[in-house]
Structure 1
Amino acid sequence: MIDLSVDGHVHTAFSSGRDSVSVLVAAAEQAGLTEVTFADRVGPDTSWLPPYLASIQRAQQRTDVVLRRGVEVEAIGIDGWLAFPSDLNGLEVISVGIDRLPLPAGLLSPDAVRGLIDNGTMRALDVIDQVVAVTGLAVERVSRYAPTRLARPLDFLARAGIDESAVPDASIAELVEACRVNGTVIEISERHRLPGRRLVQACVEGGVRLVPASDAVRAGEVGVYRYVREIAAAADNTPAAA
């Protein structure tokens, strides 16, 4: 059900990674992978996208591993607007992440939100509602441009001190439905140990595809799965939707 010969999210030295495209491809070959998706983080000021994509294209000519040209983009608007680079040409995949909470007054870090919850200014349920709503709008927006993936699902909540167990069933269902409707694939992140089994089970039951993702920043992490294997084993025992 979850193809462990795939790594759906790796970072190169173009952004937060440590190694070149070619070094990561060599690691993927050594790990016996069949497919790797590059997902370096980009924003409006990113200037290295053309050489990044060219590096992946050159590497593809020298390997049998399927290399997907992707990026990770942060959702920054309450309407699901994202911090897009100026040119999306040449991309095969766009992963959506939420590192800061979009609110009418601006963007808040997880630590700031945790503080507001602790002092009673915000409710955890309101934060959950906002994260889920923005995520749904963001994947709908991105799906207009390229096949979409959701990186580190509900990671913002975890960093703000809100456990997945506190997320209402209705919110889980809303998130899964947004991904299903927009053809969004959900990444299972080894580095961040997300999503949890509850969301994975909901994805399986809701017909949303899951892809393993090391979120590697070093070559030695490519295709190395422990948490993902645990989640995959649990997912294999979850009945799929009819």
Structure 2
Amino acid sequence: MIDLSADGHVHTAFSSGRDSVSVLVAAAEQAGLTELTFADRVGPDTSWLPPYLSSIQRAQQRTDVTLRRGVEVEAIGIDGWLAFPSDLNGLEVISVAFNRLPLPAGLLSPDAVRTQIDVGAMRALDVIDQVVTVTGLAVERVSRYAPTRLARPLDFLVRSGIDETAIPDSALTELVEACRANATVVEVSERHRLPGLRFVQACAEAGVRLVASSDAVRAGEVGAYRYVREIAEGLLPATASA
């Protein structure tokens, strides 16, 4: 159910990573990977997309590893609007990220949301509902432009102090259905150790494709899985009985 010979999310020195495209590709070859997806973070002011995409295309000519040209884009609007770069041409994959909570009054950081919950100004269930709703709208919007992935599912909630176990089944079901309906691939992140087995199992049972992701910022992290392997092994009994 989770192909450990692929790495679905790595960062280069073009954004938050430390190494070049070619160095990451060499690391993927050394790790025995068959596929590598680049997912550098972009926004409206990103100016380096053309050389980034060209670097990946040049690297593809020198390796048998399948390279996917992707980016990570943050959802910033209550209607699912994202911080798109000015030009999406040449992209094969777009990963949807959720780093701040979109509200009518603006964006709240996880720390701000945690504080609001602690003082009783917000309810955890309302935050969960908002995250699920906006995420569903965001993946629907992105799927119009390119194959879509959901990066670090539930990460915002965890950073806001809301454990995955506190998320109602109905909310998880709604999120899984949004991914299924929009052919959105769910990333299982090694770096962030998310999502948990409960959500991953729900995705698997709904037929949502899962992809292993290191979320690497250094070459040595590419394709190095421990948490993802544990999740994959946890799915085996359910897979065998299906």
Query: Distance between the aligned counterparts of 1:211 and 1:11, measured in 2?
Result: 16
1:21, 1:198 → 2: CA distance? 34
Residue 44 of structure 1 is matched in structure 2 by: 44
Is the Cα–Cα contact under 8 Å of residues 21 and 56 in structure 1 kept in the other structure? yes
Report the counterpart of residue 215 of structure 1 in structure 2: 215
| Structure 2 CA distance for partners of 1:175 and 1:147, relative to 1, 3 Å | same
Match runs of 1:1-242 below 5 Å = 1-239=1-239
The CA RMSD measured in Å over matched residues stands at: 1.0
Distance 1:240 1:113 in 2: 40
Q: Distance in 1 between matches of 2:66 and 2:201?
A: 28
Distance in 1 (alpha carbons) for counterparts of 2:7 and 2:206: 23
- The 3-state SS of whatever aligns with 1:39 is strand
Identity %: 84
TM-score, structure 1 as length reference: 0.99
Secondary structure of the 2:194 match is: coil
* Preserved CA contact (<8 Å) 1:143 1:182: yes
Letter in 1 for 2:230: E
CA offset digits 1:97-131 (Å, max 9, x no partner): 00000000000000000000000000000000000
Partner AA of 2:53 in structure 1: L
Confirm or deny: 8 A CA contact 1:207 1:240 kept in the other structure: no
Report the Cα offset of residue 235 of structure 1: 1.4
What amino acid does structure 1 have at the position aligned with 2:199? L
Task: State the Cα deviation string for residues 207-228 of structure 1 (Å, max 9, x = none).
Answer: 1010000000000000000000
- Helix, strand or coil at the partner of 1:88: coil
Give 4+ residue runs of structure 1 displaced > 2 Å after superposition.
239-242
Once the 2 structures are TM-superposed, how far is the Cα of residue 239 of structure 1 from its aligned partner?
3.8
When the two structures are superposed, what TM-score results if normalisation uses the length of structure 2? Answer: 0.99
Q: Distance in 1 between matches of 2:116 and 2:70?
A: 35
Amino acid at match of 1:165: T
Unpaired runs of 5+ residues, structure 2, are none
Once the 2 structures are TM-superposed, how far is the Cα of residue 236 of structure 1 from its aligned partner? 2.0
Structure 1: how far apart are the matches of 2:220 and 2:53? Answer: 22
Q: For residue 240 of structure 1, report the CA deviation from its aligned partner.
A: 8.2
Deviation per CA, 1:124-168, whole angstroms, max 9, x where unpaired?
A: 000000000000000000000000000000100000000000000
Which consecutive residues of structure 1, in runs of 5 or more, have no partner in the other structure? none
Native 8 Å contact 1:207 1:241 kept in 2: no
C-alpha contact 1:151 1:187 (8 A) present in aligned 2: yes
For this pair of structures, how many residues does the alignment match?
242
